[in-house]
Amino acid sequence: MKERKKQYFHPIEVTLDVVCGKWKGVILCLLQEKDYRFGELKDQLFSVTPKVLTQQLRELEEDGLITRTVYPQVPPKVVYSLTPYGKDLEDTLRMMEKWGQSHQQKVGDNFNEEVSEAELS
Amino acid sequence: MKERKKQYFHPIEVTLDVVCGKWKGVILCLLQEKDYRFGELKDQLFSVTPKVLTQQLRELEEDGLITRTVYPQVPPKVVYSLTPYGKDLEDTLRMMEKWGQSHQQKVGDNFNEEVSEAELS
DNA sequence: CTGTATCCGGGCCGATACTG
DNA sequence: CAGTATCGGCCCGGATACAG
């Protein structure tokens, strides 16, 4: 899977190592609000494939941020929720969210300008 | 270089997109303290190659987090410093740093518990 | 509903050598 | 001192199909 045995020079690398996956940030933000089932997450994330979603969730689980609860029934039901360590990230995530909003606004003009696809020649 | 035309589902993706490079977190943390010259950063990061360091710095610059100031002299001198947007990340980075410390600590404790748990019974 | 199994392309990042 | 240039490996993440 994902090897995480490296030596860190700085504590922030630990956090980044754990949070830097294509969908992990959003997943963690969603789970701050409430627990989610696998399919609900898939719907929220819209364009994620089940394989990749499973990967991201497994890694978050291995890193101790979320728990996976299986309800033995048909059809199956699996609920993902935050561990205390995952909840400890809430304030951090909110700050990242805020910064992202303001930064996107700043760069937002650039993004909007290239909405027209007739750009490259 | 690095294409950043994607559509974001969530503001946090902007922040992660900008901060998630192999050395970007540490670089930003260092620059919170003081400005750095290229060689100083290279020394601090220890195992980074000049090519990769340049890449990371260029991307941070493109994203508006840092500025690159060239002093026209021989030998050359280039100083990297934070923009206001980069400075706005300070609190966020500190929180990530703190969480990283405690999480790393937690994993350390688990290891210790596994070894010493037999002594308690 | 909640996943696996396979295949695969791209880009991140490193090693090494060279330059103004 | 502060970078480029070139080559290449690895792994992340997507597409698609299948399964309990």
pLDDT, one tens digit per residue, over B10-48 is 999 999 999 999 999 999 999 999 999 999 999 999 999
**B11-107: CATH topology:** Arc Repressor Mutant, subunit A (1.10.10)
Query: Which residue on chain B is closest to A14 by alpha carbon?
Result: B100
Please say if the pLDDT value at position B84 is more than 90: yes
Least CB–CB distance from A99: residue in B15, B97, B101: B15
Task: Say how far apart CA A17 and CA A19 lie, in whole Å.
Answer: 6
Residue ranges per structural domain of chain A: 11-107
What is the per-residue DSSP string for B49-62? -HHHHHHHHHHHHH
Run of H or E residues at B78: strand B77-82
Per-residue pLDDT of chain A (121 residues), as tens digits, is: 676 767 899 999 999 999 999 999 999 999 999 999 999 999 999 999 999 999 999 999 999 999 999 999 999 999 999 999 999 999 999 999 999 999 887 765 444 444 433 333 3
Average pLDDT, chain A: 88
Nearest-5° Cα angle at B16, B15 to B17: 90
Please say if the pLDDT value at position B116 is more than 60: no
SS3 A15: helix
Please say if the pLDDT value at position B119 is more than 50: no
Q: How many CB pairs under 8 A join A and B?
A: 112
Q: Is the peptide bond before A76 cis (omega within 30 degrees of 0)?
A: no
Residues 6 or more apart whose CB falls under 8 angstroms from that of A97 comprise: A29, B10, B11, B12, B15
Strand C proximal residues, A:50-89, Cβ < 7 Å? 50-51, 54, 57, 68, 70, 75-78
pLDDT given at position A69: 98
pLDDT given at position A118: 37
The nucleotide lying nearest A47 (C-alpha to C1') is D14
Q: What is the DSSP-derived secondary structure letter of residue A5?
A: -
CB contact under 8 A, A9 and B45: yes
Please say if the pLDDT value at position B121 is more than 70: no
How far from B31 is each of A36, B90, B117, CA to CA, in Å? Answer: 38, 10, 42
pLDDT, one tens digit per residue, over B39-72 is 999 999 999 999 999 999 999 999 999 999 999 9
Question: How would you class A91 by CB atoms within 10 Å of its CB: exposed for 0-12, middle for 13-18, buried for 19 or more?
Answer: middle
Least CB–CB distance from B13: residue in A13, A25, A107: A25
Q: Is the peptide bond before A75 cis (omega within 30 degrees of 0)?
A: yes
pLDDT given at position A112: 40
pLDDT given at position A5: 63
pLDDT given at position B5: 62
pLDDT given at position B7: 80
Min CA distance, A92 vs chain B (Å)? Answer: 6
Task: Say how far apart CA B107 and CA A93 lie, in whole Å.
Answer: 21
CA of B58 to C1' of D8 (A): 22
Please say if the pLDDT value at position B108 is more than 90: no
Residue with tokens 């991201």: A56
Nearest to A20 by CA among A81, A50, A63, A79: A63
Amino acid at B100: G
